[in-house]
Amino acid sequence: MPFVHIVLALFLSILCAATAVAQVPADAIYHGGDVVTMDDKHPTAEAVAIRGGKIVAVGLKNDVLKFKGDQTTLIDLQGRCLLPGFIDGHGHCFVTGIQAVSANLLAPPDYTVQDIPGILAELKKYARGEAARKFGIILGFGYDDAQLQEQRHPTRHELDEVSKDLPVMIIHQSGHLSTLNTKALEIAGITTETRNPVGGVIRREKDGKTPDGVLEETIHYAAMARVMPKMGQAELDALALAGMKLYASQGYTMAQEGRSIELVDRTWIRLAEGKKLLIDVLSYPDISAHENPFGLGTPWHSRELQNGYRIAGVKISLDGSPQGKTAFLSQPYLIPPIGQPASFVGYPAMPVEAIIRKVALCYEKGWQFICHTNGDAASDMLIGAIKDARAQFGPGTDRRDVMIHCQTVREDQLDLMKEYGIFPSMFGMHCFYWGDWHRDSVLGADRAERISPARSALRRGMMFSQHHDSPVALPSAIRILAAVVTRRTRSGDILGAGQCIPVDAALKSLTLWGAYQHYEEHNRGSIEVGKLADFVVLDKNPHKVPILALSELKVAETIKSGKTIYAAK
């Protein structure tokens, strides 16, 4: 057959195939509202058609209606706005479930706790409930000394007022500290003789020996493992499901399990095998302590989701939290924690030799990793370790090393991050929740105005995601959107106007760029033909409201693979 005939036959076969696809009717067509696609080639549309959980047409309404058949459902958005489902840049979906079943100790606007008596009242109420009786522990989550009238942590003696017989443990909103009553300290095995571990601190009473109840970092995590009740499969599954439901209510269709342990990963695998996942979940087992965690040698460690779940890589943690004053900084804290000198800069979670070894291991094995660095000194440690690993193993093929939080990252560090291909996942939500605290107590005005420097990254042409680190904050994409566009603090101050970013970039950081971070840009993150029908419906178009009204946007519906998984009442 002559070459020209072969080309003609091939063209006709493609044309026939395209016509056949067009003649297969869609399952549903969305219309009647704004469609914000996150696709720069076609940023808006009038309608979207889906079939089999995927997008088959996007564009003008009349064109998309050509996919309508007798069984096609027409869904009128009624003036609302359809966007890609939000993607979790960094969070802890399972632990979010724990938050959902704990006493709520959050400050306004998320809840009502404003002082230590308010904490005690919530804990006493929780102590009378079924959970405390069933599990034999009084558990609270979300207190924040920065927002309490007393401007300090509660003590073990104050928690003893709630109960002296049951362990009482309240977890700081940062997730990096906790306060325990005397009974919980006893169960955790923490006494006057217990020394501070590497990367952790036991705060003491005036005698310098007796624990006052407040635990930081590694000793906090160790105490949680000992004090938390043992749960069966049913209880563990329920926590995971509670976390997914909360995520779905905020418009998320993909969540991250950003520091998993074997117990948690086994729970996710069990739910995935039973096809019980509400949204997709990506897990990153922690290698801060163990360098060969469960899951990496199983088929679940893959670039392909299996029933909505996969182990995507590993997690490394290099320091603590700035709001808890445990992040590792290059310059001292404005006001050091009680008992610390004026030169206090926080501390790393591990020696520099350990981070060099762990990053090199990830390069040797080809693992993606996400690395927690809040302080710029911790970021220096990570950048240096990546430089060494690249020199030893080469830059790798399409590596996407992720710096989680990078809150105080400097301009010179951003230059190196771009050079080495380090993907920033920023915690711009801090501008609202802790902006005033960072300015007045943690960093001072000059450094505080540069936290989460998203505009600096944009100027360099860098992609980045934005995250909530739930349960550190509620998994609210809307709160993130408002915070990074306006950088308004709780008091109404603008914390670094020069780091504000446009609405479009903020939305990309919650959708398409988050997909890229997770090697998922071909499957999700924008409304394009062939991608998953994962959507969020907002009551208004973010591009059409005043920026100071962004925080008032509401999630009306969340759609996963074409099926509604959340609808506002």
User: How do residues 114-126 score in pLDDT, each as one tens digit?
Assistant: 999 999 999 999 9
pLDDT-based confidence at residue 23 (cuts at 50, 70, 90):
low
Taking residues 99-106, what's their average pLDDT? 89
Q: For the chain, where do the domains classified as CATH 3.20.20.140 start and end?
A: 254-525
Nearest to 73 by CA among 32, 17, 18, 22: 32
Which residue matches tokens 């923490």?
Answer: 190
380 by DSSP, 3-state: which?
helix
Q: What burial class does residue 114 get, using C-beta atoms within 10 Å of its C-beta: 0-12 exposed, 13-18 middle, 19+ buried?
A: middle
Q: What burial class does residue 221 get, using C-beta atoms within 10 Å of its C-beta: 0-12 exposed, 13-18 middle, 19+ buried?
A: buried
Are 253 and 558 contacting, i.e. CB atoms less than 8 angstroms apart?
Answer: yes
Between strands 369-373 and 314-317, the pairing is parallel
pLDDT at site 134: 86
**Phi first, then psi: what are they for 253, rounded to 5°?**
-115, -5
Q: Which residue blocks in 394-451 are alpha helix, DSSP H?
A: 411-420, 430-433, 435-437, 445-448
**What are the residues whose beta carbons fall under 8 Å from the beta carbon of 71, sequence distance 6 or more?**
25, 27
Nearest to 141 by CA among 165, 164, 110, 163: 110
Tokens describing residue 394: 């080469």
Which CATH code for domain 254-525? Answer: 3.20.20.140
Residue 471 preceded by cis peptide, ω within 30: yes
CATH value of 93-227 in 3.90.1150.150, 2.30.130.10, 1.20.1260.10, 3.10.310.70? 3.10.310.70
Are 128 and 294 contacting, i.e. CB atoms less than 8 angstroms apart?
Answer: no
pLDDT at site 19: 37
The class level of CATH for 3-79 reads: mainly beta
Q: How are the residues of the chain apportioned to helix, strand and coil, as percentages rounded to the nearest 5?
A: 35, 20, 45
Q: pTM to 2 decimals? A: 0.88
Residue 254 clears pLDDT 50, i.e. is over it = yes
pLDDT-based confidence at residue 101 (cuts at 50, 70, 90):
confident
Q: What's the Cα-to-Cα distance from 12 to each of 9, 19, 478, rounded to whole Å?
A: 5, 10, 48
Nearest to 312 by CA among 567, 515, 77: 515
The per-residue b/e assignment along 61-81, b for 16 or more CB within 10 angstroms, e otherwise, is: eeebbebbeeebeebebeebb
Q: For the chain, where do the domains classified as CATH 2.30.40.10 start and end?
A: 3-79
Taking residues 299-311, what's their average pLDDT? 97
Taking residues 72-100, what's their average pLDDT? 95
Between strands 369-373 and 402-405, the pairing is parallel
Q: What's the Cα-to-Cα distance from 388 to each of 16, 284, 299, 374, rounded to whole Å?
A: 54, 23, 30, 21
